[in-house]
């Protein structure tokens, strides 16, 4: 009976991960919608990036909150916040600036749901499997990365943006139903938890290199998640979904195969170094002339992503403080959100000044160079001492 219950919890959390990813990638057409409303590239960047700054701050404290009230209650609170954001998505159809509130509430709520689910999974496995489990939790996201843009384009052609926004609401209702079905004690009892500031001080030093790298990758990924649609809109229908399908397919292929051989020991650096190809792929996006070319570029980027994430997560899990796992995980995931937040308006500024081509060239260069810095510093001791003076081995 216990194993059946644990199996149900695992499937429920994987389903929740899929639904959360669906809500994110179904909104990939929003920048193109805002561009047609006359918004500048930088204003679009702020609107899209607002999701990630609220996800950032919420994620930082979600681990602390989950330690106090439990994983499922944390996720349920997040579901309620995200549902309130869905109301503002509808309002933005008549008052576009309401999208700022919608993105903020969506980011905060979705982050709380994802944190509550992921903390439960990671705490249920041995130390050496934590990185792999974090990779499995993100696996449905790659499926939705391919399906989401296709669904969004279909909904947009049929019902317009109201269909897209209604679909987001339906997804969060389904998340709430799954959470209510989960067996749980609502909150841990009889324990005293350390303060957040102390947990932060004790977790940050060893995670510093990982936080830097996750931040840079998040900033690079924000370039295509925020500006892919307006950049390739001239190619025609199917361009965005072609990239998404290619990306998801490449990530799934490596995540279910090669990545499981490269998520431990020195092999992790081999997997992480594949992000140099990701940087090259980003730079080539504006040069694509056909949807199939975007599909190939997406496939290559997805393969790199599928290799990199379990390897870096395993690397990070090795450095989690044994007494502050939830807070350490929050720091690690928040670095990615911070990169996504700051990257979107930064690339928007670049786009306003020099055009979309330079957005992707700059983002590709950032990912390429940060990957080289991380890999060289981790494999060459003198560089490690120079760059990360107080970081762990």
Alpha-carbon distance of 164 to 106, in angstroms, equals 14
Classify each residue of 183-216 as buried b or exposed e, where b means 16 or more C-beta atoms within 10 Å of its C-beta: eeeeeeeeeeeeebeebbebbeebbbbbbbbbbb
The closest alpha carbon to 273, from 312, 225, 229, 318, belongs to 312
Q: What is the pLDDT along the chain (393 residues), one digit of tens a residue?
A: 345 666 666 677 778 888 888 888 788 888 888 888 888 888 888 888 888 878 877 876 776 676 677 777 888 888 999 999 999 999 999 998 999 999 999 988 988 887 776 665 656 555 555 555 565 666 677 677 777 778 888 888 888 888 889 999 999 999 988 888 876 544 444 444 555 555 555 556 667 788 888 889 989 988 988 888 888 888 877 788 889 888 888 888 887 766 667 666 677 888 888 899 999 999 999 999 898 999 999 999 988 988 887 788 777 777 665 544 556 666 677 778 788 888 888 898 898 889 889 999 999 999 999 999 888 887 766 555 555 554 444
What confidence score (pLDDT) does residue 25 get? 78
What confidence score (pLDDT) does residue 153 get? 82
Do residues 134 and 310 touch, judged by C-beta distance below 8 A?
Answer: yes
C-alpha torsion 84→86→89→90, nearest 10: -100
C-alpha torsion 232→237→239→245, nearest 10: 150
Handedness of CA 137, 138, 142, 147 (dihedral sign): positive
Number of H helices, E strands in the chain: 15, 0
The closest alpha carbon to 305, from 277, 336, 341, belongs to 277
- Structural domains of the chain, ranges and CATH numbers in brackets: 2-183+199-387 (1.20.1250.20)
* DSSP assigned state of 182: S
Q: Which helix (H) or strand (E) holds 136?
A: helix 130-159
Q: Name the packing angle between helices 161-181 and 2-25 (round to 10°).
A: 160
Q: How many CB atoms lie within 10 A of CB 33?
A: 21
Tokens of 346: 């930064």
Q: Which helix (H) or strand (E) holds 194?
A: none
What confidence score (pLDDT) does residue 124 get? 57
Alpha-carbon distance of 363 to 356, in angstroms, equals 11
Please give the C-alpha separations between residue 373 and each of 9, 131, 212, 275, 343, in angstroms, as whole numbers. 39, 22, 10, 12, 19
Q: How many CB atoms lie within 10 A of CB 95?
A: 9
Alpha-carbon distance of 188 to 69, in angstroms, equals 6
Tokens of 375: 């890999």
Do residues 317 and 130 touch, judged by C-beta distance below 8 A?
Answer: yes
pTM of the predicted model as reported, rounded to 2 decimal places: 0.69
What confidence score (pLDDT) does residue 2 get? 42
What confidence score (pLDDT) does residue 271 get? 84
Q: Report the SS3 class of residue 285.
A: helix
What confidence score (pLDDT) does residue 189 get? 47
Tokens of 40: 């500048």
Alpha-carbon distance of 140 to 21, in angstroms, equals 7
Do residues 114 and 14 touch, judged by C-beta distance below 8 A?
Answer: no
């Amino acid at each position: 009976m216990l194993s059946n219950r644990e199996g149900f919890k695992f499937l429920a959390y994987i389903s929740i991960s899929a639904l959360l990813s669906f809500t994110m990638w179904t909104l990939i057409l929003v920048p193109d919608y805002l561009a047609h409303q006359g918004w500048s590239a930088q204003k679009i960047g702020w609107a899209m990036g607002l999701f990630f700054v609220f996800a950032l701050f919420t994620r930082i404290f979600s681990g602390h909150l989950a330690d106090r009230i439990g994983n499922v209650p944390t996720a349920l609170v997040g579901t309620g916040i995200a549902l309130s954001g869905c109301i503002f998505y509808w309002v933005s159809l008549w008052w576009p600036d309401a999208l700022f509130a919608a993105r903020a509430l969506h980011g905060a709520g979705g982050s709380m749901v994802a944190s509550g689910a992921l903390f439960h999974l990671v705490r249920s496995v041995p130390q050496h499997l934590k990185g792999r489990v974090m990779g499995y939790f993100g696996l449905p996201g790659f499926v939705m990365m391919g399906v989401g843009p296709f669904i969004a384009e279909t909904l947009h052609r049929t019902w317009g943006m109201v269909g897209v926004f209604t679909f987001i609401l339906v997804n969060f209702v389904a998340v709430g139903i799954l959470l209510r079905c989960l067996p749980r004690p609502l909150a841990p009892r009889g324990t005293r938890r350390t303060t957040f500031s102390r947990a932060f001080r004790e977790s940050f030093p060893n995670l510093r290199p990982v936080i830097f790298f996750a931040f840079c990758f998040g900033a690079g990924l924000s370039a295509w998640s925020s500006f892919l649609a307006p950049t390739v809109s001239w190619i025609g229908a199917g361009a965005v979904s072609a990239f998404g399908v290619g990306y998801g397919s490449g990530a799934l292929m490596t995540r279910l195969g090669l990545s499981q051989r490269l998520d431990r020991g020195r092999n992790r650096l081999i997997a992480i170094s594949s992000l140099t190809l990701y940087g090259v792929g980003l730079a080539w996006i504006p040069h694509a002339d056909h949807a199939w070319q975007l599909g190939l570029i997406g496939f290559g980027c997805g393969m790199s992503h599928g290799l990199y994430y379990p390897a870096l997560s395993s690397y990070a899990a090795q450095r989690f403080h044994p007494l502050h796992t939830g807070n350490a995980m929050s720091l690690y995931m928040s670095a990615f959100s911070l990169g996504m937040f700051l990257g979107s308006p930064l690339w928007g500024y670049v786009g306003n000044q020099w055009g979309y081509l330079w957005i992707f060239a700059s983002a590709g260069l950032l990912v390429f160079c940060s990957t080289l810095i991380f890999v060289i510093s981790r494999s060459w001791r003198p560089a490690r001492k120079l760059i990360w003076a107080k970081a762990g081995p």
